[in-house]
Each structure stands twice: as structure tokens, then as C-alpha cells.
Amino acid sequence: MLKFETIEYILTKKYKIMAFELPKLNYAFDALEPHIDAKTMEIHHDKHHAGYTSKLNDAIEGTENEGKTIENILENLDMSNKAVRNNGGGFYNHRLFWEVMSPDGGGKPEGELAKAIDAAFGSFESFKEEFSKAGATQFGSGWAWLCVHKGGKVEVCSTPNQDNPLMPKVGCGGRPILGMDVWEHAYYLKYQNKRPDYINAFFNVINWKEVSARYAQEKEK
């Protein structure tokens, strides 16, 4: 039987239930080597992503956003709310980032996604060039995206900081199915200021099965 003090402890919420939790990786920190090094993965996940997660929870506690999905929060975001914008974006972006990479990644997409890429860009190589350019030319920190619109059309775009295509009026439409982090913390330990080298390496770890699954799901929304 619960003691009165325990019940009171629960009812007064002296402990904090985290609305969002740092997702676990589906692979070890060193699993993406030599393309992305273990130390970068460890710091990126355990420090940076953990920080966004904690600060997002702080930012939404006691507000109308508490209890909502991250997608709902971002799609209806007040862009002047910098705490939710930065940390909500950071939480969502990194969660997608980990999932679209794999130790067994690389190669090319197949099936419907491959057809959509060919229709939009002419070939996979042309898509690769466009996506790489989006990441390489994003000034300062940001992300490169492959997005899908309702019906299946895909496009490439980029956003600054932790913005993403789900947010209102970012100039980048559709729903993200592939995201590449081009903040320096994603690559600097191994590649220093050679962002294009990191971008080339990123293609060796893309989990095209996951991206294709997201394409099939998101094109219906």
C-alpha cells in the first residue's frame, strides 16, 4: 500500500515526467566508421541531442504544447517562440537523422522512391549533386533535406539552424524523409572545415530502406 507521503509526492508532481525522451540509437557509436567517427556520434547523441530534448521539455512544460506530438508542435509553431523552435527542431531533426543512417547504408534507393527521384532530378547522380549542393552551400549551421509532397513529388531544400520543413514559412515545403546535419558538431572532429568531404561520406551511410518507407508513408499526408 502506498504511504500518504508517496501519494502526496505523486499528486504534487515533485518529480518530473519527461514529455520527450532521447531516442536510443539502433547501432553502436562506432558502427558508422570510417565515415562518421565514434567520438562524434557519442558527443552528438549524448550531449547535443540530449540537450535539445531536455530544453524542449522545459520549454513546453505547462503550456498548450505539453502532451502534443513533436510533429503537431512544429506544424503549428509560433516561429517567434525561439525556445520551442530551436529545441523542438533540434529534437525532431536529430531523431530523423539517426534513423536514416545505418551501418549497412549506402547505395541507391529502389522502387517508388527511385522513380520519384528520377522524375524530379533526371537521375540519382543529379539528385546526389543537388542534395550535396544544398548541404555545402547552407551558410553557417543548418540542414539539407529531401522532402515529399502529397502525391509523391520530391524536392531538395535546406534550412538554417534547427528549422525544418514541418515549420511554417521556412521556404522549404513537403515532409522530410531524409535529413543531413551540416552543423559543425556533426563532422568537425573528423573532417574539420571540409564539409564537402563529410557530405560525400554521408552517402555511404544513408539507410535507403528507411527513407523509402518514409516516402511511402508521408506522400499520403
Distance CA 118, CA 176 (A): 18
CATH topology of domain 37-221: minor pseudopilin epsh fold (3.55.40)
Secondary structure (3-state) at 214: helix
Distance CA 86, CA 90 (A): 6
Does 10 score more than 70 pLDDT? no
* 1-16 average pLDDT score: 40
Strands (E), the chain: 142-148, 154-160, 175-181
For residue 172, CA distances in Å to 22, 105, 134, 208 come to: 26, 26, 12, 22
Binned at pLDDT 50, 70 and 90, residue 173 comes out as: confident
pTM higher than 0.85:
yes
Does 192 score more than 60 pLDDT? yes
* 67-75 average pLDDT score: 97
Domain ranges of the chain: 37-221
CB distance 161 to 86 below 8 Å: yes
Tell me, what's the pLDDT at 18? 52
129-163 pLDDT tens trace: 999 999 999 999 999 999 999 999 999 999 999 99
Average pLDDT, the chain: 92
Distance CA 94, CA 162 (A): 9
Query: What is the percentage of the chain residues whose pLDDT exceeds 70?
Result: 92
Give 22: exposed, middle or buried? Use CB within 10 Å, 0-12, 13-18, 19+. middle
Binned at pLDDT 50, 70 and 90, residue 13 comes out as: very low
Distance CA 185, CA 99 (A): 18
Query: What is the percentage of the chain residues whose pLDDT exceeds 90?
Result: 89
- Sorted by sequence, the CB contacts under 8 Å of residue 201 that are 6+ apart come out as 35, 36, 191
CB distance 172 to 159 below 8 Å: yes
Secondary structure (3-state) at 21: coil
Tell me, what's the pLDDT at 19? 85
